[in-house]
């Protein structure tokens, strides 16, 4: 069962049309009537609170979600009860793509802070996509990006390379959203980062401390300031473009 939101936010009748994340999200490349038709499909839900699940493993699949505000963590739990973090989702990024094939959700989506999402009922979305080629193209692009992002971590890379790539990747994602690429506050814990990068929690902190000592970054709780972004890029070159 999809979890019930605290309240349903029916803002302006416009959703996509006045959204600052248009270029990153599904509406990219759509105009006029096409954009209106997508807009009519979208329903915003929220605010959800830190710790609220958007969906859980096994929930019947009915809609794709786009993060509107806040951030999410997607994760599975193995047979021994251990959590495996699959990814972090920032505003403009989609959740639920991996549920299309099986017809039910195969991971849990958890709000890491106060969050709002846009709900895109799948049947209507795919019907619209078959009529609007721009929408179809954008959905394909976003799915492809999802696949290539996941592949990056599969290789045999050092802890330094992994964390550098993580920070560089976040920097780019923030930059695309109009935020500073050099200073950001992250909602995930060190434990989540470690899990995602397949490192021990202590190792993540050691590498953060090492980067700080070497003058590459400064860290204050979960605030990170990148002082030498080019050097971080160099560090994770071997991993290809993160």
Partner 1 sequence: MQANSAISAIGFDPYLVRRYDVAGPRYTSYPTARQFGSAVDTAVYQYAVKRSNEDFIPSALSLYMHLPFCKSPCFYCGCSRLITSRPERIAAYLQRLYSEIHLQGSHFDRDRPVRQLHLGGGTPTYLSDQQLADLFNILRKAFTLEERALREFSIEADPRGLTPQRLQILANFGFNRISYGFQDFDPQVQEAINRVQDAQQCLELIGAARAAGFCSVSADLIYGLPKQTEAGFTATLEAVAGARPDRVAVYGYAHLPQYFKAQQHIHNIELPNADLRLRLLQRAVEVLSGHGYEYLGMDHFALPDDELVQARTNGTLQRNFQGYSTHAGLDLVGLGMTAISHVGDVYAQNAKTLDCYYAALDSGHLPIERGYVMSADDCVRADVIGRLMCYEELPFDPIERRHNIVFLEYFARELVALQPLEADRLVRVETDRLLVLPRGRFLRRALAMVFDAYLPREKTAHTYSRVV
Residues of this chain that interact with partner 1 (CB under 8 A) are 186, 189-191, 193, 201-202, 204-205, 208-209, 212, 219-222, 224
In the complex with partner 1, the residue whose CB is nearer, 175 or 190, is 190
In the complex with partner 1, the residue whose CB is nearer, 218 or 241, is 218
Least CB distance to partner 1 at residue 98 (A): 27
- Residues of 111-143 as b/e, b for ≥16 C-beta within 10 angstroms? bbbebbbbbbebeebeebbeebebbeebbeebe
Closest C-alpha to 231, from 215, 242, 219, 220: 215
Closest C-alpha to 192, from 89, 64, 54: 89
| Tokens linked to 236 | 């994770």
In the complex with partner 1, the residue whose CB is nearer, 80 or 220, is 220
Q: How far apart are the first and last CA of the chain?
A: 34
Least CB distance to partner 1 at residue 164 (A): 14
Least CB distance to partner 1 at residue 220 (A): 7
| Tokens linked to 45 | 């839900």
Least CB distance to partner 1 at residue 92 (A): 23
In the complex with partner 1, the residue whose CB is nearer, 3 or 189, is 189
Burial-class residue 162 by CB neighbours within 10 Å (0-12, 13-18, 19+).
buried
Least CB distance to partner 1 at residue 202 (A): 4
In the complex with partner 1, the residue whose CB is nearer, 100 or 219, is 219
Rounded distance between C-alpha atoms, residue 219 and residue 181, angstroms: 15
Q: What is the DSSP letter of 173?
A: H
């Amino acid at each position: 069962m999809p979890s019930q939101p605290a309240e349903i936010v029916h803002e302006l009748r416009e959703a996509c049309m006045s959204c600052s994340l248009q270029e990153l999200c599904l509406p990219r490349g759509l105009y006029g009537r096409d954009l209106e038709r997508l807009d009519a499909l979208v329903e915003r839900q929220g605010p959800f609170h830190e710790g609220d699940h958007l969906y859980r493993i096994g929930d019947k699949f009915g809609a794709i979600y786009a993060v509107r505000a806040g951030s999410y963590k997607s994760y599975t739990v193995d047979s021994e009860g251990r959590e495996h973090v699959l990814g972090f989702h920032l505003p403009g990024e989609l959740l639920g793509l991996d549920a299309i094939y099986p017809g039910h959700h195969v991971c849990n989506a958890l709000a890491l802070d106060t969050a709002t999402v846009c709900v895109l009922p799948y049947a209507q979305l795919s019907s619209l996509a078959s009529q609007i080629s721009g929408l179809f193209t954008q959905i394909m692009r976003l799915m492809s990006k999802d696949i290539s992002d996941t592949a990056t971590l599969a290789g045999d890379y050092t802890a330094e390379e992994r964390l550098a790539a993580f920070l560089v990747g976040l920097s780019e994602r923030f930059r695309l959203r109009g935020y500073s690429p050099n200073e950001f506050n992250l909602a995930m814990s060190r434990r989540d980062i470690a899990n995602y990068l397949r490192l021990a929690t202590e190792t993540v902190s050691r590498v953060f401390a090492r980067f700080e000592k070497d003058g590459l970054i400064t860290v204050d709780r979960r605030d990170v300031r990148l002082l030498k972004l080019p050097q971080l890029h160099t560090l994770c070159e071997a991993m290809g473009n993160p």
